[in-house]
Structure 1
Amino acid sequence: MFIKRYLHDISIAVEAIIANKVKSMLTALGIIFGVAAVISMMAIGNGAEQEILDQIKLVGVNNIIITPSTLTIEGGSGGDGGDEKAGANKFSKGLTLMDAEAIRKIIPSVQQLSPVISFNYSALLDAHSKPVVLEGVNNSYFNLFNIRLSEGTLFSDQQNENGYPVCIIGDNIKTEFFRGREAVGELIKCGQIWLKVIGVVERRDFTASASDEMGISSSDNKIFIPVQTMLLRFKNRSLVRADEVAKANKGNGPGGGGMVVFRMGEEPAQEDNDETDSNLNQLDKIVVQVKETEQLNATASLIKRMLLRRHSELYDFEVTIPELLLKQQQKTRNIFNIVLGVIAGISLIVGGIGIMNIMLASVMERIREIGVRQAVGAKKKDIIAQFLAESTLISLTGGLIGIILGIVLSKIITGMFEIKTIVSFFSVFIAFGVSVLVGVTFGYLPAKRASDNDPVESLRQ
Structure 2
Amino acid sequence: MIDKILLEKLKSNFSEAYWFIKTNKVRTFLTALGIIFGVASVITMLAIGNGAEKEILAQLELVGVNNIVVTPILDEENEDAEQSDEDDGKTESKRFSKGLDILDALSAQKNIPSIKLVSPEIILNTYVINNGRQNSVKLVGISPAFFETSNINLENGKTFSDYQIKNALPVCIIGKKVEKKLFTGKSALGMQIKVKDVWLQVIGVIEEKMISDKSQENLGIRDLNKDIYIPLNTFLVRYKDRKIISDKIGTRNRNQNGPKKRIPRGNYHQIDKLTLQVSNSKELKATAEVLSKMLKRRHNDVLDFEITIPIQLLKQQQKTKQIFNIVLIIIAGISLLIGGIGIMNIMLASVLERTKEIGIIRAIGATEEDVILQFLSESVLISVGGGIIGIVLGVIGAYVIEIVSGIETVLTLNSIMLSFFIAVIVGLVFGIFPAKAAAKKKPIEALRSE
TM-score by length of 2: 0.94
Name 2:437's counterpart in structure 1. Answer: 449
1:171-210 matches, cutoff 5 A: 171-210=176-215
* Displacement of 1:262: 4.7
CA distance in 2, matches of 1:338, 1:132: 43
Residue of 124, 130, 142 corresponding to 2:129? 124
Q: 1:122 to 1:251 in 2, by over 3 A?
A: farther
Q: Is the 8 A contact 1:75 1:260 kept in 2?
A: no
Partner deviation per Cα, 1:304-329 (whole Å, 9 max, x = no partner): 00001000011110110001110111
* Matched residue, 2:51: 47
Q: Which residue pairs with 2:310 in the alignment?
A: 322
> 1:188-267 maps to which residues of 2 (within 5 A)?
188-241=193-246, 245=248, 252-254=254-256, 257-260=259-262, 262=264
Task: Name 1:115's counterpart in structure 2.
Answer: 120
Aligned equivalents of 1:354 and 1:107: distance in 2? 65
The number of residues matched between the two structures is 441
One-letter amino acid of the structure 1 residue matched with residue 319 of structure 2 = K
For residues 118-162 of structure 1, give each alpha carbon's deviation from its aligned partner in whole angstroms, at most 9, with x where no partner exists.
111110011111100111111211111111111011111121222
Call closer, same or farther: CA 1:249–1:147 in 2, change over 3 Å: closer
Question: What is the rounded CA distance, in whole Å, between the counterparts of 1:448 and 1:459 in structure 2?
Answer: 18
AA aligned to 1:390 is E
Partner of 1:266: none
Equivalent pair of 1:47/1:422 in contact (CA under 8 Å): yes
User: Closer, same or farther in 2 for the Cα pair 1:379/1:78, shift >3 Å?
Assistant: closer
> Which residue of the partner structure matches residue 9 of structure 2?
5
Q: Deviations over 1:37-94 (max 9, x none)?
A: 0110111011011101100111111000000123347499978799x83xx2521011
Match of 2:78 in 1: 71
CA shift at 1:259, angstroms?
A: 2.3
Instruction: Give the SS at the match of 1:220.
Output: helix
For the Cα contact (< 8 Å) 1:94–1:316, is it kept in 2?
yes
Are 2:379 and 1:391 aligned? yes
Question: How many Å apart are 1:253 and its aligned residue?
Answer: 4.4
Name the SS for the 1:136 alignment partner. strand
**Separation in 1, partners of 2:407, 2:196:** 39
What secondary structure does 2:128 align onto? strand
Secondary structure of 1:120's partner? strand
- 1:364/1:177 CA distance change after superposition, 3 Å: same
Contact kept, 8 Å, 2:251 with 2:262, in 1: the verdict is no
Structure 1's 189 and 334: CA in aligned 2 closer, same or farther, altered over 3 A?
A: same
Give the structure 2 partner of residue 275 of structure 1.
none
Structure 2: how far apart are the matches of 1:332 and 1:143? 29
Task: Quote the Cα distance in structure 2 between the aligned partners of 1:424 and 1:404.
Answer: 13
CA pair 188-321 structure 1, distance change in 2 beyond 3 A = same
Structure 1 equivalent of residue 422 of structure 2: 434
Displacement of 1:208 in angstroms is 1.3
Contact kept, 8 Å, 1:250 with 1:256, in 2: the verdict is: no
Contact 1:71-1:262 within 8 A present in 2 as well: no
Misfit runs of 4+, over 6 Å: 75-82, 247-251
Displacement after TM superposition at 1:455 (Å)? 1.4
* Residue 169 of structure 1: aligned partner: 174
Q: Gaps spanning 5+ residues in structure 2: where?
A: none
CA distance in 1 between partners of 2:205 and 2:288 (Å): 33
| Distance across 1 between alignment mates of 2:311 and 2:384 | 43
Offset of 1:24 from its aligned partner?
Answer: 1.1
Are the counterparts in 1 of residues 17 and 374 from structure 2 also a CA contact under 8 Å? yes
- For 2:143, the equivalent position in structure 1 comes to 138
Alignment correspondent of 1:294: 282
Per the alignment, do residues 459 and 179 of structure 1 end up closer, same or farther by CA in structure 2, a change over 3 Å counting? same
2:252–2:261 Cα contact (<8 Å) kept? no
Contact map agreement 2:250 2:263 (CA 8 A) in 1: no
Task: Give the counterpart letter for 2:27 in structure 1.
Answer: K
Distance 2:383 2:84 in 1: 79
For the 8 Å contact 2:387–2:423, the answer to whether it is kept is: yes
TM-score (norm. length: structure 1): 0.91
CA contact (8 A) 1:119 1:133 kept: yes
With over 3 angstroms needed to count, the CA separation of the structure-2 counterparts of 1:439 and 1:116, relative to structure 1, is: same
Considering only aligned residues, what root-mean-square deviation do their CA atoms show, in Å?
2.1
1:406 match: 394
- The secondary structure found in structure 1 opposite 2:431 is helix
Q: In the alignment, which residue of structure 1 is the partner of 2:96? A: 91
Q: Distance in 2 between matches of 1:330 and 1:452?
A: 52
Q: Is the 8 A contact 2:252 2:262 kept in 1?
A: no
| One of 350, 359, 365 as aligned partner of 1:362 | 350
Identify which of 11, 14, 18 aligns with 2:18: 14
**Deviation larger for 96-105 or 8-17:** 8-17
Asked if structure 2 preserves the Cα contact closer than 8 Å seen for 1:251 and 1:257, the reply is no
SS at match of 1:333: helix
Counterpart Cα distance in 2 of 1:167 and 1:161: 14
Match of 1:270 in 2: none
Q: In percent, how many aligned pairs have the same letter?
A: 45
Give the equivalent residue in structure 1 for 2:360.
372
Q: How many Å apart are 1:254 and its aligned residue?
A: 4.1
Distance 1:443 1:81, change over 3 A: farther
Could you say if the C-alpha distance between residues 23 and 78 of structure 1 is closer, same or farther in structure 2, counting changes exceeding 3 Å?
closer
Deviation at 1:257, TM superposition (A): 4.2
| Cα deviation 1:389-411 (Å, max 9, x = unaligned) | 10011001111111111111000
Whole-Å Cα distance in 1 between the matches of residues 36 and 342 of structure 2? 12
- Tell me, in whole angstroms, the C-alpha distance in 2 between the residues paired with 1:144 and 1:77: 42
TM-fit CA distance, 1:252: 4.7
Task: Give the 3-state SS of the residue equivalent to 2:375 in structure 1.
Answer: helix
Contact map agreement 2:138 2:228 (CA 8 A) in 1: yes
Contact residue 252 and residue 263 of structure 2 kept, 8 A:
no
